[in-house]
Amino acid sequence: MSRIGNSPVKIPDGVTVTFENNTVTVKGKLGELKQNIDAISVKIEDGTVILERPSEIKDHKAKHGLYRSLIFNMIEGVSKGWTKELELVGVGYRASNQGQKLDLALGFSHNIVLNIAEEVKIETISEKGKNPIVKLTSFDKQLVGQVAAKIRSFRAPEPYKGKGVKFVGEQLRRKAGKTA
């Protein structure tokens, strides 16, 4: 029994959800998202979205909870938006942006310049005495996570000093160094 798949998704004010041709379309004040759905039936009634699976096959059970979570994330995204913050830990690590271009100095011989998708709003925060922060905001949760993971992959945090690009609030597993 899927507990996630069985719970209905409430549709807030200002958000419209339609289901036709096996595609769920969610429109809100921040944007519009689409998701193809197969093997699961979707009902939209009384301001809620209800998903039902046709049988107890393992594939249907798996997709039941998956599509419910995807639809919930889409509704949450077009109404409130999603935000990820990355922190650059290390001496001389800097970040700046000009429009949709992110310029990162991560201790390599050259700066890394990354073009960010138009749907993602980017902001860099640099305060004296604190680590630089890159803030990503969008209505598409998957896109924000993908861009954040790409930025983190340039210099993942190392386990000894914790230097690198990490998510704000991320707990790193630290190792002890050499002992004399």
Region 82-167: CATH code: 3.90.930.12
Q: HSE of 22 in the Cβ direction (CA atoms, 13 Å)?
A: 5
Report the Cα 97 to chain-centroid distance in Å: 20
Dihedral class, residue 162 (left if φ above 0, else alpha if ψ from -120 to 50, else beta): left
User: Under CATH, domain 3-79 is a member of which superfamily?
Assistant: Ribosomal protein L6 (3.90.930.12)
pLDDT at 180: 72
pLDDT at 166: 97
Alpha helix stretches (DSSP H) within the chain: 3-6, 58-79, 141-154
Question: Do the first three CATH levels of 3-79 and 82-167 match, i.e. the same topology?
Answer: yes
The closest of 119, 81, 115, 90 to 101, measured between CA atoms, is: 115
List the chain pLDDT tens, one digit each, 180 residues.
568 999 999 999 999 999 999 999 999 999 999 999 999 999 999 999 999 999 999 999 999 999 999 999 999 999 999 999 999 999 999 999 999 999 999 999 999 999 999 999 999 999 999 999 999 999 999 999 999 999 999 999 999 999 999 999 999 999 998 887
Residue ranges covered by each domain of the chain? 3-79, 82-167
Tokens of 75: 């509704």
Q: pTM value?
A: 0.92
